[in-house]
Amino acid sequence: MSEPLNPFASKPSRSRAFEKVILGLFRVATYFVLLCGVIVFADIVFKGAPTVARAFKTTSTFPYVTNTFLFTAPESLYVFEHDGEKKEMGDKEYRAFREAEEAKALAAGQPAPKFKAESYVYSAGGIWPAIVGTVLLVVGSMTIALFLGVCSAIFLNEYAKDGPVVRFIRLAILNLAGVPSIVFGLFGFGMFVIFFGWNVSLMAGWFTLAFMVLPVVITASEESLKAVPKGFREGSLALGATKWQTIRKNVLPYALPGILTSSILGIARVAGETAPIMFTAAYVVRDKLPWEIEKASDFFFQGVMALPYHIYVVSSKIPQNEYTARVQYGTAFVFLGIVALIAAASIILRNKLRSRYQW
Amino acid sequence: MSSASITPPPPKPPVQPKPFVIHKERTRFFGLTLDETIRAFFGGNAFMAVVVLALITIFLFREGSAFFGQNRASITLYRTAGLEYVDYMRAQQEGHTALTRYLFDIRLRAVRHLTENEALSVAEANAKLAAFDEFAGRYSDTIEPVRGFVSDLTDVAVAIKEKYTINEDAKTERAQFLATGMTAEADAVKIAEIDFKAELAPLVGVTPMYVEAANGVATAINDVLATAPALPVPSLESRMTRFKELNREYLATFPETQRKLETWDYLKPVPALDTVTGFLFGKQWLTASFWQDWYGLVPLFVGSLMVSIIALFLAVPLGVGAAIYINQFAGLREQRIIKPAIEFISAIPSVVLGFFGIAVLGQALRALSQWEALSWVPGFPFSERLNALTAGCLLALIAVPTIFTLAEDALNNVPRSFKEASFALGASRMQTILRIIVPASLSGIVSAVLLGLGRVIGETMVVLLCAGNRIAIPDFTQGFTAFVQPVHTMTGIIAQEMGEVVRGEIHYRALFMVGLVLFFIALLINFLAQKIVRKYRISIG
Amino acid sequence: MVNVSSLSNAAPMDTSSATPVSRAFKVPARATDGEKADTLIEIENFDFYYGAKQALFDINLKLDDKRVTAFIGPSGCGKSTLLRCLNRMNDLIDGTSVKRGSVKIRNIDINTRDVDPIELRKRVGMVFQKSNPFPKSIYENVIYGLRIQGETNKAKLDEVVEKSLRGAALWDEVKDRLHESGLGLSGGQQQRLCIARTIAVSPEIILMDEPCSALDPIATAKVEELIHELKKEFTIIIVTHSMQQAARCSDKTAFFYMGKLIEYADTRMIFMNPSNPQTEAYVSGRFG
């Protein structure tokens, strides 16, 4: 050992090796979580996308292309053998086919053909009413939640002075955020459906969902309001503006983009929840679309189909086989796609906004 | 420069000071100015959160509170109609059935041993066990006298209950007629008052005979046991001894049952507290039964707890590990990709995860468990596709983002100076993290875990779809296999049964009570999490 | 924060004013020197609290009309607090309260219930330490005060914008880009925009809370020049950390220390011949 000894040279030791192992474990944990997410995502995308892709059909009218999965109502699927061929048909198509065959046989003077079909509910057709219902639920409940939430946030951030009442309100908001969604469902059922007599309706669903996301919206709004510099308020007030003028002209306009962006995450939550709408707004199946109503007020008091509930129904109430898997995966794919888009939009927009608004 | 700006004093005109107006009458609504009105409006909105919380409590109570009264009535009827009396006997019969099952289990083991270890054919094994079978047959026949009593008396008790129910319905009908003023119709409704004492006479009357029969059973069992043959498999002899021991214990309960039967009084009131304890600590959730409905929370609570334990067991190391990795090790680019990605996972709707569990994970886990190389894992292999483990794994995926985000925040809040001080003393990065940073943020991490627990215990769709929905307390005597048994949960039961119950009935009310319990559990978890966080803020100073 | 012990240790007081101390700066002569001014603001026995903590102790002060008064003193001495009391900006801070005494402007007590702080603030404008133009156009920034008072006459608004920007010596610099964002201006221009915004509502009094502390020397000079112009029309009260600035632009100076008014006199007096040893110590740079 003629080399001069460097006192700062790194010394290999067992503790170093141990550290490397621990670091490796942490890294594995991180990537394992991501992997799980990716697996769920990939499974649903790969098995669900073909259902949607296969359903593109050309039509004779504008816009000349439609998607039978996205834009039609669910039907029962009939699987049967005819002339040695295995056929799968939706409810309407099957009936028409049968009548045509029977008529053909009758014309030829033969006995009517026998059909032995297995049927699977909801496994043919599409999910259009569920998409419409989900959109309606999201729009209505977010309108209510944004109104209530932004107003609450304005009070808490702009008007309220710290005191027992405000602390109590904040505590309530914090606790409301932890209430399980099924409890919101029960509450909505007890209050809106029964006590107010709204029955299973859009209104009941809207309010239930709105109350559920309220804490999310309040927190998001408050953060955005806090991000508006104090100087804007003081400057305005020093010019003789009233508090409300200051808020309306000089605070809200600058907080609004932030409020809306962060609230998108609330949208993802509203769209994704099943439990609160199970007994308040969702129907297993409904033939009419929400706008096919007799009078305008019926609109608010009608139940709707909803994507998450539809997934629950098709995944728990019908058997699992190759015929039903298509609609199951297809619905899950469309739903996951919608929610993922919303969530991605929220995350990207928020990051953009963070870098843009720096006063 | 200011000296340059000196100007001659301007001629100063004698101006009257202009009025300094700082008073203004503002329009008032109910004594409030416009601004105060706006403030009040916003304040009202903010108060909404409190109102909603209060309304949740009120409405859950409103729908659920009648449960206790109804349950008490139900239990009272259970007693007055003699169902309870019959159940004492049934318990005796079931004790015997359990023992018979034990014998059967011994036989099963014996056959397995004989065919596998001694390479006998099934027929040969059966032949070897002929003596044992004869013994088991005689043993299982011993209970016949009791069985006869139970099945006869069951019919009697059910008939009384039926009669009572019909009568109650008639009473309601009559009350409804009277309420609408239709006296003629009301009078037409026949109500036959039930003389419970007379109705119960055939039940209570058999007590001496039954006691005699039971004693006969006891003697018969002792006789049969005395002639127990030696097993062809010596290694199972210990089980046989255990069987005899269990029999002794079983027979020791006979005098107690006898005493219960003899002192049974159909008029003994049901204490009000029993309905509360019966709900909170009841071990059976049995509904829509022809005999008697039981609403006991324990199986559901245990189910919820088990899936939560599994979920946290998986999610805590993953979530906290990932948080430490991202916060302390990952580069900026890695952070920028992974943080949103994990947030993104939290956006996956739970119903989609539940569907994934049904369609993929359940089978995958079962296949995994049946893989030879993994048979050392406790609980493996298992045969149920949907069970607590499947649900727990998916719930873990739901809890990880919550735990990750909050734990990462907690780690972020540790002052930089702590870390720098530790480095300056020559500690390595891992030492700094494990000895300084994690302990300093520990309460934050604990509260993150608690909030994750809150998330998991309140989750509905995943457990509804994937937990298997069997309402029974898993058999913990078998060790870890309890965790791969199907369970039912508090959230799941509400979601599953709410759509099927009749509004206002006891079952409906019971579901609301479950909701209320869930609500309070959620509040408790939240409270604890906040308390821990608050403490932690102080400790950081 | 200055604590008393450091003060007594570091600065043995030279109480005899017989030996004049050499000054690092000069107090220039003023056109208004020696002229008698009317009293505009009268502060009497004023005590002010933040929650339970007393911030101002028994302040008695008379401020002159159409003059520049400077408030000086070490950080935390209460000078900004007093300034914000003059247009009740402290109302916006939780837990503040006036426990005793009064602030009268033209003999009207501004802390009584029937005074509308909104109207008060229209009369008593304020310029802040950190320039805070709104993220609107320069034009909109200036007319903001009029807009909220409901003024919609375009011609009137245009006129006010030009007049105010000229008054703030900003017109020539920005007249071609009135409709660009106020945030695009330099720091000094932003601060003058804030002044323009303030004078657009034609207040009588302008409060300036360290208006130049975030500006470079050239921008500071411009603002100080502006203050000279403004005092023809407005009463100006300026809080400053820079004694040079106080000396350069104020007519009278009040020195505060630990929430108390230590000395109030003509600026020349304060800087050349302070009567109080603490003032002496502060202006000569021995603490603060």
Per-residue pLDDT of C127-185, as tens digits, reads 888 888 888 889 988 988 888 888 888 999 999 999 899 888 888 889 899 998 888 88
Contact C114 B23 (CB under 8 A): yes
Q: Would an 8 Å CB–CB cutoff place A285 in contact with chain B? A: no
The CA distance from B42 to A150, in Å, is 9
Predicted confidence (pLDDT) at residue B248 exceeds the cutoff of 70 = yes
Measured in angstroms, the CA of B541 and the nearest CA of chain C are apart by: 21
Question: What pLDDT is recorded for position A163?
Answer: 83
Chain segment C80-123, per-residue pLDDT in tens: 899 988 888 888 787 888 888 888 888 888 888 888 888 888 88
| CA triple A275-A276-A278, angle to 5 deg | 65
Select the highest-mean-pLDDT range: A83-97, B196-210, B440-454.
B440-454
Using CB atoms, which chains have 3+ pairs under 8 A with C? A, B
Write out the DSSP string of C128-190. -SS----SSBHHHHHHHHHHHTT---HHHHHHHHHHHHHHTT-HHHHGGGTTSBGGGS-HHHH
pLDDT of B230 over the 80 cut: no
**Residues A165, A90 share a domain:** no
Give percent above pLDDT 70 in chain B. Answer: 94
Q: How far apart are CA C233 and CA B483, in angstroms?
A: 84
Mean pLDDT of chain C: 82
Residue B541 DSSP one-character state: -
CB contact under 8 A, C94 and A162: yes
Q: Which residue in B has a C-alpha nearest to residue C245's C-alpha?
A: B2
Residue C205 has pLDDT above 60, yes or no: yes
HSE-CB for A186 with a 13 A CA cutoff = 38
Any B CB within 8 A of C108 CB = yes
Same domain, A229 and A314: yes
Number of compact structural domains in chain A:
2
Average pLDDT of the segment spanning C184-208: 89
From A99, A66, A92, select the one nearest A77 (Cα to Cα). Answer: A92
Domain that holds residue A93: 75-125
Could you tell me which chain B residue has the CA closest to the CA of A187?
A: B56
Judged by CB atoms closer than 8 Å, whether chains meet at C32 and B17 is answered as no
Q: Is A11 contained in some domain?
A: no
Q: Using a CB–CB cutoff of 8 Å, tell me whether B11 touches chain C.
A: no
Among A125, A148, A164, the domain-final residue is A125
d(CA A257, CA A349): 10
Burial of B372 (0-12, 13-18, 19+ CB in 10 A): exposed
Chain B contact set for C232 (CB, 8 A):
10
Q: Which of A105, A125, A145 is the last residue of a domain?
A: A125
pLDDT exceeds 50 at position C21? no
More confident residue, A13 or B417: B417
Examine the domain organization and report whether A266 and A344 are in the same domain: yes
- Closest by Cα among C257, A162, A274 to B355: A274
Contact indicator for C252, C39 with CB cutoff of 8 Å: no
Nearest CA distance, C203 vs chain A (angstrom): 9
Structure tokens that stand for B497 in this block: 């049964």
Q: Locate all alpha helices (DSSP H) within chain C, ordered by sequence.
A: 4-10, 79-86, 117-123, 138-148, 154-167, 171-174, 187-200, 217-230, 243-249, 267-272, 277-283
Percent of chain A predicted with pLDDT > 90: 31
Chain A residues lying within 8 Å of B459, measured CB to CB: 180
Q: Which residues in B lie closer than 8 A to residue A153 (C-beta atoms)?
A: 46
The answer as to whether A48 is a domain residue is no
Least confident interval from A7-21, A225-239, B35-49, C153-167: A7-21
When CB atoms are compared, the residue of B2, B19, B26 closest to C224 is: B2
Nearest-angstrom CA–CA distance, A251 and C130: 18
Answer for the pair A236, C146: CB distance below 8 angstroms, yes or no. no
Check CB contact under 8 Å for C116 and B8.
no
Mean pLDDT computed over B59-88: 85
Give me the mean pLDDT over the B267-293 stretch.
83
d(CA A210, CA A212): 5
Cβ-Cβ contacts under 8 Å, C110 against chain B: 22
In a domain? residue A53: no
Neighbours of C93 (CB within 10 A): 12
Helix (H) or strand (E) holding C108: strand C108-109
Report B:38-67 residues touching A (Cβ under 8 A). Answer: 38-39, 41-43, 45-50, 52-53, 55-56, 59-60, 62-63
Q: Chains A and C: how many Cβ contacts under 8 Å?
A: 68
Q: What is the mean pLDDT of residues B175-195?
A: 78
A1 located within any domain:
no
Same-domain status, A221 and A80: no
Residues A110 and A147 in one domain: no
3-state helix, strand, coil in chain A (%, to 5): 70, 10, 25
The answer as to whether A339 is a domain residue is yes
- Give burial (CB, 10 Å; 0-12/13-18/19+) of A356: exposed
Q: What is the CATH number of the domain that holds A249?
A: 1.10.3720.10
Q: Are residues A99 and A239 in the same domain?
A: no
Stretch among A275-289, B41-55, C33-47 having the lowest mean pLDDT: C33-47
| Domain co-membership, A93 together with A219 | no
Q: Which amino acid is at A5?
A: L
Mutate to test the interface with C, among B22, B27, B38 (most CBs of C within 10 A): B22
A328 in reach of chain B (CB within 8 A): yes
Q: Do B430 and A22 touch (CB under 8 A)?
A: yes
* Residue contact B20–C204, C-beta within 8 A: yes
A240–chain C nearest CA distance, Å? 4
Looking at the fold, whether A351 and A239 belong to one and the same domain comes out as yes
In this structure, the answer to whether residues A120 and A199 fall within a common structural domain is no
Inter-chain touch C119–B23, beta carbons under 8 Å: yes
* Cα gap B319→B342, rounded to integer Å: 10
User: Is residue A57 very low, low, confident or very high in pLDDT (cuts 50, 70, 90)?
Assistant: confident
Whether A105 and A244 map to the same domain: the answer is no
Instruction: Give phi and psi for C128, each to the nearest 5.
Output: -100, 165
Residue type at position A321: N
Out of A89-103, B454-468, B480-494, C72-86, least confident range = A89-103
Task: Note the pLDDT of residue B5.
Answer: 47
Question: Is A254 within the bounds of a domain?
Answer: yes
B427: contact with A, CB 8 A cutoff: no
| CA-based torsion, C163, C168, C169, C170: positive or negative | negative
Q: Is there a single domain that holds both residue A310 and residue A249?
A: yes
Contacts of A279 in chain B (CB under 8 A): 498-499
pLDDT range class, residue A202, cuts 50, 70, 90: very high
Q: Say if B457 is an interface residue toward chain A (CB within 8 Å).
A: yes
Q: Does A244 touch chain C (CB under 8 A)?
A: no
Is A39 a domain residue?
no
pLDDT for the residue C30: 61
- Asked, for residue A5, whether it belongs to a domain, the answer is no
pLDDT value at B2 more than 60: no
Mutate to test the interface with C, among A156, A234, A239 (most CBs of C within 10 A): A239
By the CB < 8 Å criterion, does A37 face chain C?
A: no
Mean pLDDT of A33-56: 90
Mutate one of C90, C128, C132 to test the A interface: name it (highest A CB count within 10 A): C132
Q: Hey, are the CB atoms on C144 and A232 less than 8 Å from each other?
A: no
The pLDDT tens digits of the residues spanning B311-359 come to 999 999 999 999 999 988 888 888 888 988 988 888 889 999 999 999 8
A104 and A162 together in one domain: no
Determine contact, residues C107/C147, Cβ cutoff 8 Å.
no
C32 pLDDT band (50/70/90 cuts)?
low
- Considering only residues 15 to 54 of chain B, which have any Cβ-Cβ distance to chain C shorter than 8 Å? 17-24, 26
C-beta neighbour count of B468 within 10 angstroms: 22
CB contact under 8 A, A241 and C118: yes
CB contact (8 A) between residue B351 and residue A181: no
C86 touches chain B (CB under 8 A): no
pLDDT of residue B3: 46
Complex ipTM: 0.89
